Amino acid sequence: MTRISRLGAVVAIAAAVACAGCSVIPVSGPHAVNEAGGGDPLSKPFQRMIAIAPQKNWGPEQIIRGLQAAMAAYPDDPAILPTYLTPEALAKWSASGPVTVIEDGFEVVPPSPRDGTEAVQKVTLKARWVASIKEDDSYVPTAGGWSRSFELVKDKQGGYRVSDLPSGLLLTNSDVARAYRATNLYYLNGNTQDRLVVDRVRLRLKPTETFAQTILKRLLEPPTSALAGGAVTTSFPPGTKIESITYGDERVLINLSGPLDPLDLTGENSLMAQIRYSLNKNEVAKGRSIEVLVDGEAYSIDRPNSDERWLDDSGDTAYYVSKGAVHLMGKDGPAGAVPGPAGEQREGYSDFALSKESNALIAARTSTGISVAGLTREGQWQEVIQGTDLTAPTWHRDGSLWTYDRKNGFLLRYDPAGGRGPERVAPPKELKGLDVTRLRIARDGVRVAVTTGKNTVQICALTTAAGGLMLGNLQLLTTTEEGDEIRDVAWGDDEHLLVLVDSKAGQILNQINVGDGESVGVPLKDRLKSVAALGDRVLAASDDGSKVIELNQDRQTWNVKIEPDAEAPLFPLG
């Protein structure tokens, strides 16, 4: 193994940026010289922005463009930005706060002859607002225009300086693409603690440390606000620190310090899972064994072929509904009705939902409430939640059944193992007065998709801050245009929600990353009524209820799986 005391970033090819006051040069640092093909497996390629100080002959527009370049360079070189500010502005300015991200082609509106004098100029920067990177590293997309006015004054040397600058950094899309990486961190489900939950952040690459160090340092911190309030927890006890990370051809060696208990096997397993997924899912150290030391002493080893149970064990069998009866879906088509009453045709049952396969229960909505049946010959339909205006049922991975009582404005949770009726759960205050139309719990048992009205999807989390499960951390995911209507939503995996929209121009199916709002459109041919997904598999029911189709691996075309009389596809949970 090659031991390295400090690993710099692997660099990309040098590029030049044609803008006033900035350029991009390659950044290099110590790296493993014995690695054939070049490349530190613990880092990511990036380029550093190099800004220059304002020049005496620059006009107001050049000053503003140079200032923006200096903000892009600030985390790596904080010395240039102060040269653009007056002493008074510098005394008030701070880099802390959300990062504002704007489109590359921003416009600098020059001062008008009536607005200012030669000694004092007012300039406006206009752009399309792309996103904010919050202080917890979460990436929040935005929309619409953005503008900021700057007052420039001449100093004693005859050059312009900015007299006031709001705190925080202003970056372009290209700045973020160059210096940040979308990163998945993995925490433990705060309720069951048997499942990893992904938290997507934007992390800035640093020339002074490897990307592996950056990831693990952030993993030791609390999750983003989307998963606050006990929605997730961690196996790293307070006080844990990363002392070093080194690597060889076949292994990565992580030396930690802190109050880790070598006798806590459960904590060891979950801690190693958090490390492995946070590194490997970001393509860092992939294929290498991960060895963890505590204060230089052996703690645990994680092999590349370790099991995947930390991400999904809900089952992967596909089902579909035909004339009120639930059927199994085989590889090439129908595989027969499920046993018991759930596999028998009946009217008045709709919006079927399936629990984990290890304890398979089917739920359906009726005109008087929600009924449940076991997928066995002895199973019987039983109404477990009463109500005439309930959302479609959705299962939690702990075996409980959830719905929203639209008439009375609260959540209902029914636990089949509890032996008593449903309990009320207070919804977030932000939902009060809103028309809640759907509720879908993700397979991680933490995130919840909530649709309100006809055209809005919000993401919540099941928190445990008050000693029991509560719905909180409400955040907007997407809103359709006026007149459009959301037809269905379905969890593909813990990160992605499928949203089916009836629009004026036709149907739209988008796969949206709930961590940063990134959306990918799925081509459609037939009009769809509903969708279901599990990982890479996407199923849909045609609008006329005649067939179930499946999205091909090319993500462009669909194949017919079941016809005729195939009303709705189902996967466990989601």
pLDDT given at position 44: 86
- What whole-number distance in Å separates Cα of residue 409 and Cα of residue 425? 10
Q: Which of 421, 354, 339 is nearest to 393 (CA)?
A: 354
pLDDT at 199 over 90: yes
pLDDT for 230-258, tens place per residue?
999 999 999 999 999 998 888 999 999 99
Quick check: pTM over 0.85? yes
Most confident of 26-40, 420-434, 541-555: 541-555
- What whole-number distance in Å separates Cα of residue 371 and Cα of residue 369? 7
| CA neighbours closer than 13 Å in the CB half-sphere of residue 521 | 6
pLDDT given at position 114: 56
pLDDT given at position 26: 33
pLDDT at 317 over 70: yes
Band of pLDDT at residue 117, cut at 50, 70 and 90: low
Distance of alpha carbon 196 from the chain centroid: 13
Q: How many other CB atoms sit within 10 Å of the CB of residue 574?
A: 26
- In the chain, the percentage of residues whose pLDDT exceeds 70 is 91
Band of pLDDT at residue 5, cut at 50, 70 and 90: very low
Supply the CATH classification number for the domain 318-570.
2.120.10.30
Q: For residues 511-531, give the mean pLDDT.
A: 95
Mean pLDDT of the chain: 88
Cβ 561 vs Cβ 549: under 8 Å:
yes
Band of pLDDT at residue 116, cut at 50, 70 and 90: low
Domain with CATH 2.120.10.30 in the chain: 318-570
Q: For residues 457-485, give the mean pLDDT.
A: 89
pLDDT given at position 14: 26
pLDDT given at position 314: 81
pLDDT at 467 over 70: no
499 vs 114, residue with greater confidence:
499
Q: For residues 313-321, give the mean pLDDT.
A: 90
pLDDT given at position 17: 30
pLDDT given at position 35: 30
Band of pLDDT at residue 285, cut at 50, 70 and 90: confident
**SS3 label, residue 208:** coil
Band of pLDDT at residue 461, cut at 50, 70 and 90: very high
Cβ 404 vs Cβ 424: under 8 Å:
no
- What whole-number distance in Å separates Cα of residue 569 and Cα of residue 353? 10
172 vs 505, residue with greater confidence:
172
pLDDT for 63-92, tens place per residue?
999 999 999 999 999 999 999 999 999 999
pLDDT given at position 21: 45
Q: In DSSP terms, which residues pair with 152 in a beta bridge?
A: 121, 162
- What whole-number distance in Å separates Cα of residue 123 and Cα of residue 84? 14
pLDDT given at position 514: 96
Sign, Cα dihedral of 551, 567, 495, 177: positive
**SS3 label, residue 31:** coil
Burial (CB < 10 A; 0-12, 13-18, 19+), residue 79, is exposed
pLDDT at 381 over 90: yes
Q: For residues 294-303, give the mean pLDDT.
A: 89
pLDDT at 3 over 60: no
Q: For residues 197-204, give the mean pLDDT.
A: 97
Q: For residues 31-52, give the mean pLDDT.
A: 63
pLDDT for 383-396, tens place per residue?
999 999 999 999 99
Q: For residues 354-359, give the mean pLDDT.
A: 89
Domain 48-178 class? alpha beta
pLDDT given at position 112: 67
Domain with CATH 3.10.450 in the chain: 48-178
pLDDT given at position 452: 96
Q: For residues 514-531, give the mean pLDDT.
A: 95
Q: For residues 116-136, give the mean pLDDT.
A: 90
Contacts of 173 (CB under 8 A, 6+ apart): 101, 102, 103, 104, 130
Nearest 5°: the CA angle 189, 194, 196 is 50
Nearest 5°: the CA angle 97, 175, 493 is 80
